[in-house]
Amino acid sequence: MANSLTQRTEEKQSANGSSLLEIEDLKVYYDTINGAAKAVDGVNLTVRRGEILGIAGESGCGKSTLTTALLRLTQAPGYIAGGRIMFHRMDGDPIDLLKLSGEELRKVRWRNLSYLPQGSMNTLNPVLRIKEQFLDVMLEHSDMSKREAEKMIPNLLGQVNLEPYVANMHPHELSGGMKQRVTLAMAIALNSDLMVADEPTTALDVHVQRVVIQMLADLRDRLGMTMIVVTHDMAVHAELADRVAVMYAGDVVEVGDVRQIFKAPKHPYTQALINSIPRIGGERVRLAGITGNTPSPRNWPSGCRFHPRCPHAMPVCSEQAPALLEVTKDLNGMQPPLASCHLYTQAGGNDE
């Protein structure tokens, strides 16, 4: 028994870095009276086991639409217009999350995928004690008995530095930061493979933000969870993420190691995003904002969707959509970044 447990732990550890989720050509559209809003339009992205993957990009670029789709939580008028989301379980064949039936999905949710939605602290039910809300989640999504689940609650609260008595309180008796930690403890209750956290620090004061960031990093290290953290706040990515995927106009335009993204961004949009972050204690410089407006998902620009705003735009950029490809080979041992930009393709006159 001990041997097989050790073996399983070793299997899990050796799986770190392997693919957990492969998103292939994902399209999520919204039906509107003016036609389809192509909020997520052709996303390809791999999430590796054990990593914190940050998803960055300006408001409206499709971050929430993407993450709700991979949790199969898309709601009308939204719908999945195409693609696959392959989920590699530890103990079974890969499954396409988009093909699961309602019952299969219920089993996978929480057990394999958990979700910390935007403003999650406001999703707590005001009339139920915290303990009852834990039990709802744990009994609905696992084979645990009520007794077993009850025994786990103090430990789960302890994981996020809350005292056991919090279990007997109602949400209105807790501060905002405490409520956020309770929802975090619920998201880890079933020790799922992947946790998706949407804007986990937004609307919290600076001190509480710091506590939540530290806690997420700590939980990943202790529980070996894989996390996707969605936020427009680049400072949160800098502190928390291992890799960052940058979205623009419904697509991922660059994915790379967090150090590379901040030190040597490749895509002109990522460069503009990084240049618009104020530097604390740095020289006083005018912030390089991104000129022009974000395009509408009902009518994306042809070719590269960033070309109307790009300082490096070439004729090819309005004609051909660049693929997301490796753009550099040697980066001091870091995985090469991927970017979709003609500056790095033969069509753009460069094949670096």
Ligand X SMILES: Nc1ncnc2c1ncn2[C@@H]1O[C@H](COP(=O)(O)OP(=O)(O)OP(=O)(O)O)[C@@H](O)[C@H]1O
- Residues contributing to the site for ligand X (CB under 6 A): 30, 32, 37, 39, 57, 59-65, 77-78, 232, 297
Residue closer to ligand X (CB basis): 49 or 63: 63
CB of 228: closest distance to ligand X in angstroms?
Answer: 13
Q: How far is the CB of 213 from ligand X (least distance, A)?
A: 18
Kindly tell me which of 297 and 348 has the beta carbon lying closer to ligand X.
Answer: 297
- Compare residues 32 and 125 and give the one whose CB is closer to ligand X: 32
Instruction: Go through 235-264 and write b for each residue having 16 or more CB atoms within 10 A of its CB, e for each that does not.
Output: ebbbbbbebbbbbbbbbbbbbbbbebbbeb
- In degrees, to the nearest 5, what angle opens at C-alpha 243 toward C-alphas 348 and 304? 25
Question: Hey, how many other C-beta atoms are within 10 angstroms of the C-beta on 277?
Answer: 14
Smaller CB distance to ligand X: residue 297 or 337? 297
In the complex, what is the shortest distance from the CB of residue 29 to ligand X, in angstroms, rounded to a whole number?
9
Shortest distance (Å) from residue 132 CB to ligand X: 30
Amino acid at 37: A
- What the block records as the tokens of 111 is 């057990």
Q: Shortest Cβ distance from residue 230 to ligand X (Å)?
A: 7
* Residue whose CB is less far from ligand X, 30 or 110: 30
Name the residue nearer to ligand X (CB basis): 155 or 296: 296
**For residue 2, what are the contacts with CB-CB under 8 A and spacing of at least 6?**
none
* Pick 13 or 299: Cβ nearer ligand X: 299
- For residue 99, the minimal CB distance to ligand X (Å) is 23
Measured CA to CA, the distance from residue 7 to residue 271 in angstroms comes to 44
State the minimum distance, in angstroms, from the CB of residue 244 to ligand X.
14
